[in-house]
């Protein structure tokens, strides 16, 4: 088979896969969640096998413990989160009004000196409209995820089907990997295995490592903000930790929310306002210099902008299923794109058929690969 036919075959397979994903997106949630759960728990099952526990027993024990811990966590967090979210949403208009009032008090003397005192009402109106549009966009996006993923209709199947799917996938994981590996074209098997290992390393390194980063940061932010008696500190801290799955987004979101609440609550006590700022500065420092290098590593290759685009795009197209698939697909696309770029840079299409002719001004550049 020529290279053109191979490319055509894989493009056709990709088109079919995307079509099936889009057509069946309403029923895929429990199956995708079960597959993702099995993928995350497979290393633990492998370790238990090494100490003499059978694969069936290890899978059953791991899954039962996970489900029990998950249910207990939901029973503890969901009522608290629902109450806090409801109270926070109810207080948002008063917070916005108070921030506008403080801005009016602090900025009016400056604008008067600059001769632009008529610009303040327009600024307040623009900020208010921007906040309203932002809240409306977030609400519409979340509603789209909910309806797009048919979450309400899938709750029962998610709680019942997902553990069953995860159990069977976890039991048969190694056998499925060997079976899929045997289907690979013999002439390209080594290359495909290398790409698959890179994809697995990227997904595992980011998902498992970043999940630990989210838990640690969320706990730190929630405890620290609660200790300084910030209103809704626990909710803001947990939200910042959860959104830290996208690097920098969680800390920035938590900083904006907490600083807004802190200004309204503590003004004019700058000590508490700066303490709120210091919590997020310290958390960002720890994340960037200790947590992410140790837990995630530098070889993941998922740029925050690319990850954010993938989450928004796949979430809008496929609902909650798209959110589950966004990270692995983004990692896979990134690995394949880097491989394709490497092939292009090593090919005659980039280097040319003849010798490389250097420009006189760049002949002495040591970093140029001649």
List, for residues 125-139, the tens digit of each pLDDT value.
555 565 556 555 555
Q: Report the mean per-residue pLDDT for the chain.
A: 75
Report the SS3 class of residue 324: helix
CA 233 to chain centre: 22
Confidence at residue 120, expressed as pLDDT on a 0 to 100 scale:
52
| Residue 251: pLDDT band with limits 50, 70, 90 | confident
For residue 112, what pLDDT is reported?
58
| DSSP secondary structure letter of residue 358 | P
Place 366 in a pLDDT band, splitting at 50, 70 and 90: very low
Instruction: Work out the pLDDT band at 45, boundaries 50, 70, 90.
Output: confident
Label residue 364 by pLDDT band (50, 70, 90): very low
Of the candidates 133, 143, 167, 138, the one whose C-alpha atom is nearest the C-alpha of residue 30 is 167
Residue 261's pLDDT band, with cuts at 50, 70 and 90, is confident
At 152 the pLDDT is 45
Identify the pLDDT of residue 146.
Answer: 47
Q: Does residue 123 surpass a pLDDT of 70? A: no
174 token code pair? 């190694």
Does 228 have pLDDT greater than 70?
A: yes
Do you know the residue count of the chain? 370
Q: Residue 62: is its pLDDT beyond 70? A: yes
Going by pLDDT thresholds of 50, 70 and 90, the confidence category of residue 3 is low
Q: What pLDDT does residue 140 have?
A: 55
d(CA 239, CA 296): 20
Each residue of 78-99: pLDDT tens digit? 777 777 777 777 777 777 777 7
Could you identify the residue written with the tokens 């109106």?
Answer: 125
**Who wins on pLDDT, 327 or 168?**
168
CB-hemisphere CA count at 13 Å for 147? 5
Angle of CA points 276, 280, 297, to nearest 5° = 170
Return the higher-pLDDT residue of 303 and 140.
303
Longest dimension (CA), the chain: 80
Going from N- to C-terminal start, the domains of the chain cover 29-183, 188-344
- pLDDT tops 80 at residue 41: yes
Rounded mean pLDDT, 287-310 = 73
Confidence of residue 19 (pLDDT cuts 50, 70, 90): confident
Q: For the chain, percent helix, then strand, then coil, each to nearest 5?
A: 85, 0, 15
Q: Give the span between the Cα atoms of 160 and 148, in whole angstroms.
A: 20
pLDDT at position 367: 45
Is the four-CA dihedral 180, 20, 154, 332 of positive or negative sign? positive
Phi, psi of 54 (to 5 degrees): -65, 155
More confident residue, 130 or 36: 36
Percent of the chain with pLDDT over 90: 0
Q: Distance of CA 323 to CAs 55, 109, 353, Å?
A: 30, 47, 45
pLDDT recorded at residue 150: 47
The larger pLDDT score, comparing residue 151 to residue 284, is at 284
pLDDT higher than threshold 50 for residue 216: yes
pLDDT of 9 = 73
Q: How far is CA 238 from CA 8, 84, 103, 129, in A?
A: 46, 11, 28, 27
In this structure, the number of other CB atoms found within 10 A of the CB of residue 282 comes to: 12
**Across 307-334, average pLDDT:** 78
Q: Residue 156: what are its φ and ψ, rounded to 5°? A: -65, -45
Distance, in Å, from the CA atom of 71 to the CA atom of 76, rounded to the nearest integer, reads 9
Total-model pTM: 0.67
| Predicted confidence (pLDDT) at residue 365 exceeds the cutoff of 50 | no
CB 299 within 8 A of CB 201: yes
Q: Is 297 left (phi over 0), alpha (psi -120 to 50) or beta?
A: left
pLDDT of residue 322 exceeding 80, the answer is no
């Amino acid at each position: 088979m020529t290279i053109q036919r191979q490319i055509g075959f894989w493009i056709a397979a990709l088109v079919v896969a995307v079509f099936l994903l889009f057509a069946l997106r309403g029923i895929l949630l429990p199956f995708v969640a079960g597959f993702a759960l099995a993928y995350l728990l497979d290393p633990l099952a492998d370790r238990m096998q090494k100490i003499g526990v059978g694969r069936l027993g290890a899978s059953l024990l791991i899954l039962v413990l996970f489900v029990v811990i998950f249910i207990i966590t939901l029973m503890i967090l969901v009522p608290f989160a629902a109450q806090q979210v409801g109270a926070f949403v109810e207080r948002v208009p008063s917070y916005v009004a108070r921030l506008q009032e403080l801005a009016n008090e602090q900025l009016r003397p400056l604008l008067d000196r600059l001769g632009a005192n008529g610009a303040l009402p327009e600024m307040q109106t623009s900020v208010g409209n921007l906040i309203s549009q932002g809240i409306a966009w977030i609400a519409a996006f979340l509603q789209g995820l909910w309806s797009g993923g048919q979450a309400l209709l899938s709750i029962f199947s998610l709680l019942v089907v997902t553990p069953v799917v995860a159990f069977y996938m976890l039991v048969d994981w190694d056998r499925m990997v060997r079976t899929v590996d045997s289907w690979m074209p013999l002439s390209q098997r080594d290359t495909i295995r290398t790409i698959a290992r890179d994809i697995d390393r990227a997904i595992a390194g980011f998902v498992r490592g970043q999940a630990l980063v989210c838990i640690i940061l969320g706990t730190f932010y929630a405890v620290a903000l609660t200790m300084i008696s910030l209103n809704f500190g626990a909710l803001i801290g947990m939200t910042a930790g959860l959104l830290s799955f996208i690097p920098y987004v969680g800390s920035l979101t938590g900083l904006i929310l907490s600083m807004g609440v802190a200004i309204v609550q503590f003004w004019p006590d700058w000590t508490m306002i700066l303490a709120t700022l210091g919590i997020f500065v310290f958390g960002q420092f720890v994340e960037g210099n200790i947590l992410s290098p140790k837990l995630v590593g530098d070889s993941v290759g998922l740029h925050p902008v690319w990850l954010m685009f993938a989450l928004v795009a796949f979430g809008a197209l496929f609902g909650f299923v798209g959110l589950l698939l966004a990270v692995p697909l983004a990692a896979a696309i990134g690995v394949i794109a880097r491989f394709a770029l490497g092939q292009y840079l090593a090919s005659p299409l980039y280097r040319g058929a003849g010798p490389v002719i250097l420009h006189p001004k760049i002949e002495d550049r040591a970093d140029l690969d001649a």
